[in-house]
Amino acid sequence: MTKSELNKYRNALEARHAEIMQLVRNRDGIAIERSSDALDEVQQATERELAIRNLDRDSNVLRKVRGALRRIAEGDFGVCLHCEEDISAKRLAAVPWAAFCIRCQEIADLSYGDSADNLDASWVNAA
Ligand SMILES: [Zn+2]
């Protein structure tokens, strides 16, 4: 991978990182503001649940984005963490924080369905 390609991915990842941090900060602000309101309790619980779910999803992506930035720094970005083959440029363009090649990701999705993300995490931790 060329230096300029790597820079392109790093810029995309850093932009995504900033975007999620912004989202998380904004959401914290909203939560504090609303808790002092006399809102219906059921509605508050639903909103809280939604916020937690969004936060979960965002922190999941955030963790992957950080992992990818670390791999750029360490020089092994773009290599599948599982089979060590190169991850295709097309896949990286769509998902710059991808840690696995499409084949390994598909196997993970097939075997683990919705919890494939958890598998990602265990592979990352094992690496
Ligand atoms: Zn692979």
Distance 107 CA to ligand 1 centre (A): 9
Per-residue pLDDT tens digits for 27-49: 766 555 555 555 577 888 888 88
pTM score above 0.75: no
Distance 106 CA to ligand 1 centre (A): 9
The SS3 of residue 1 is coil
Higher per-residue pLDDT: 113 or 49: 49
Distance 83 CA to ligand 1 centre (A): 4
Banded pLDDT at 52 (limits 50, 70, 90): confident
> Which one, of 45, 19, 16, lies nearest residue 31 by Cα?
45
Structure tokens, 39: 């809102």
Q: Is the pLDDT of residue 17 over 70?
A: yes
Calpha distance 108→26 (Å, rounded)? 33
